[in-house]
Amino acid sequence: MPDAKVSVLTLQAPIGQSRSRPGRGLVLPVLIFVAFALVPVLAAWSGQKYLLDVAGRMMVFAVAAIGLDLLVGYGGLISLGHAAFIGLGAYAVGILSAHGIEDALVSLPVAIAVSMLFAWLTGIVCLRTRGAYFIMITLAFGQMVYFVGTSLAPYGGDNGLTIAARNTIAGWPLIKSDRAFYYFAFACLLATYLFCRSLVVSRFGRVLRGAKENTTRMVTLGYKVRRFQLVAYVIVGGLGGFSGFLLANLTEFVAPTYMSWQQSGELLVMVILGGAGTLDGAILGTATYLIVEELVSAWVENWKVFFGPVLILVVLFARGGLIGLGRLVWRSDHG
């Protein structure tokens, strides 16, 4: 019976793509990644090296946002504790570095493994709840990790921990320069996007999306929905740890604020702003949010006061975020 259901779901086009023109779904991601690839060229041409740092932050947080979109947009599970995974990944890098272990071949697997382990342990509890209860319990676990971070006096406590240098790769300082790290982060974002895109259109992804639409029906058809959701939660945790590894190497610093509820809220805003349920939207929303922060915060200290009404308007009138708004404009222009 489950196989019959899956065979029906295979006839559906992936979310955000057209069945009549499957190639259309590739245009936006290609444009996004081409734009990121050209940033170093633009930075060298204009002499504005800070562009590498800004775009690098976009890609680092986009890795985490894509993971959160997998949970929120495709799984229907709204989490306010996603930043905990980022913080765990970042602290794994910082603590290993403090003990003289600075190779990415060690720190990256540890960062991902620690975050996935935490996701597995907490996911078992969190996924027994639904709706607002799920939001609150993920928030509680996230804050628990945050306060553990503030209590780590040997590793900086509230003040954070400075990392002496970026990780090496097999002993070679391959990502020491800003440009080299930028392309490394670009490759990581591309790999994350392709992995999640293939996951969404796989049998696993179809079951996850089916559970979002009607959990009772999927259970009745014989699927162990909670098991699928737990695996998704663990994968999302690993992607958060991956983002934390990149963030620690980008800033060469880790702090408890990386895993605060405010950071989780910002990630959720990025996903909603771009368009939940569209991996392209997670990247676009992250880039838009950080660009607005970079431009407006230079003029107004409390810039989020002005950004809040904009987000409310997006939620009310553009339910699909920027991606949905773009589709609406396209349809109106082309009949």
* Pairwise CA distance, residues 58 & 43, whole Å: 15
**What is the percent of the chain where pLDDT is above 90?**
65
**What is the percent of the chain where pLDDT is above 70?**
89
* Pairwise CA distance, residues 137 & 230, whole Å: 15
Has residue 221 got a pLDDT over 90?
no
More confident of the two residues 295 and 166: 166
Q: What pLDDT does residue 178 have?
A: 92
Structure tokens at 170: 């097999």
Going by C-alpha positions, the residue among 278, 317, 237 that lies closest to residue 15 is 278
pLDDT in tens, 142-200: 999 999 999 999 998 899 999 999 999 998 999 999 999 999 999 999 999 999 999 99
Q: What pLDDT does residue 294 have?
A: 85
More confident of the two residues 152 and 328: 152
Q: What pLDDT does residue 258 have?
A: 92
Q: What pLDDT does residue 10 have?
A: 39
User: How would residue 333 be classed by pLDDT, with cut points 50, 70 and 90?
Assistant: low
Amino acid at 115: S
Has residue 7 got a pLDDT over 50?
no
* Pairwise CA distance, residues 305 & 297, whole Å: 11
Mean pLDDT of 299-304: 73
Three-state DSSP state, 299: coil
* Pairwise CA distance, residues 132 & 226, whole Å: 17
Q: Are 79 and 68 in contact (CB under 8 A)?
A: yes
Enumerate residues 6+ apart whose C-beta is below 8 A from 209: 9, 15, 74, 75, 200
Has residue 9 got a pLDDT over 80?
no
pLDDT in tens, 65-116: 999 999 999 999 999 999 999 999 999 999 999 999 999 999 999 999 999 9
Q: Are 81 and 62 in contact (CB under 8 A)?
A: no
Q: What pLDDT does residue 204 have?
A: 93
Going by C-alpha positions, the residue among 82, 64, 95, 240 that lies closest to residue 164 is 95
Helix axes 131-150, 261-274, angle to 10 degrees: 130
Q: What pLDDT does residue 183 have?
A: 96
User: How would residue 320 be classed by pLDDT, with cut points 50, 70 and 90?
Assistant: confident
pLDDT in tens, 10-68: 334 443 443 434 445 788 899 999 999 999 999 989 888 889 999 999 999 999 999 99
Q: What pLDDT does residue 307 have?
A: 72
pTM score: 0.89
Q: What pLDDT does residue 142 have?
A: 94
Has residue 120 got a pLDDT over 50?
yes
